[in-house]
């Protein structure tokens, strides 16, 4: 069978920035194994697969090259962008049913999209020397979210200059580790490392900002924040803390559209 596929630079206002995501809008579900193989072949941080429901909502799933994940912000943004630009979606809000519950995405302004996600409230970790050692950093604080550890560093340059031991991260029981600090020009900056799920350093991570936003909103005593992820590609996210929910605002640019030839033998 032939399947349309798109690649989108999410959290980017122009090509070759932000975080690339694959998007496949399926007529019906294919096997989990095949979705995983397609994600592996794409070799992007995530590939999003979605199927329309009768009420114009969508079932949405995300795969890294090695595993399925419960939440992915940039691939949700990419999927929304493709629905609006390539599939003529006409409603103000897209409703996605996912492993993380119902996620709503609105066309915010021109090429901007606002995603509504559950907050991931940080829990303070007292003993974290082993985590800081793996990341080769001096950390002021450590927190744990649902999936990731968050290390707070002294300043933006400490985040930029960090050289973690990615191999040693397999000893840490988490999806990944986030480094963050107050930004020089933004409210806060970050870098995100997820080698345990097949992504050494993620270019721009929407799901990480569901943890970062509650922390920095309380630390800086403001609910609207501007953030930048300091990967090689880099990307900007506007964040709004709403207590139990977080809104993440970003733009997206379509890089590629094509057709893949796939076979699904039910394996």
Query: What is the set of active-site residues?
Result: 46
To the nearest 5 percent, what fractions of the chain are helix, strand and coil? Answer: 20, 40, 35
Strand, coil or helix: what is 80?
A: helix
Q: 114 φ, ψ to 5°?
A: -115, 120
Nearby residues of 233 by Cβ (< 8 Å), 6 or more positions away: 12, 16, 17, 18, 19, 203, 204
First-to-last CA distance in the chain?
15
DSSP string computed for 23-79: EEEESS---HHHHHHHHHHHTSSEEEEEEE-TTS-EEEEEE-SS-EES--HHHHHHH
Nearby residues of 157 by Cβ (< 8 Å), 6 or more positions away: none
Surface-to-core class of residue 51, CB atoms within 10 Å of its CB (0-12 exposed, 13-18 middle, 19+ buried): middle
**Cα 30–33–34 angle (5° rounding)?**
50
Q: What is the dihedral of CA 24, 25, 28, 32, to 10 degrees?
A: 30
């Amino acid at each position: 069978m032939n399947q349309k596929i798109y690649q989108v630079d999410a959290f980017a206002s122009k090509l070759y920035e932000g975080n690339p995501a694959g998007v496949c809008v399926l007529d019906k579900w294919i096997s989990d194994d095949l979705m995983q193989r397609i994600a592996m072949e794409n070799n992007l941080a995530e590939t999003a697969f979605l199927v329309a429901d009768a009420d114009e909502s969508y079932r949405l799933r995300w795969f890294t090259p090695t595993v399925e994940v419960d939440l992915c912000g940039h691939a949700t943004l990419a999927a929304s962008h493709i629905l609006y630009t390539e599939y003529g979606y006409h409603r103000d809000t897209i409703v996605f049913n996912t492993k993380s519950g119902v996620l709503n995405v609105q066309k915010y302004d021109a090429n901007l999209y606002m995603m509504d996600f559950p907050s991931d409230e940080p829990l303070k970790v007292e003993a974290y020397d082993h985590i800081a050692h793996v990341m080769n950093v001096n950390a002021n604080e450590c927190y744990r979210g649902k999936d990731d550890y968050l290390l707070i560093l002294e300043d933006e340059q400490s985040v930029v200059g960090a050289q973690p031991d990615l191999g040693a991260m397999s000893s840490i029981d988490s999806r990944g580790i986030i480094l963050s600090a107050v930004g020089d020009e933004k409210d806060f900056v970050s870098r995100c490392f997820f080698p345990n799920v097949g992504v050494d350093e993620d270019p721009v991570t929407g799901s990480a900002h569901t943890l970062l936003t509650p922390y920095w909103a309380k630390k800086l005593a403001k609910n609207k924040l501007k953030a930048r992820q300091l990967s090689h590609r880099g990307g900007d996210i506007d964040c709004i803390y709403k207590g139990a929910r977080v809104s993440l605002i970003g733009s997206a640019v379509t890089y590629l559209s094509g057709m893949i030839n796939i076979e699904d033998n039910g394996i």
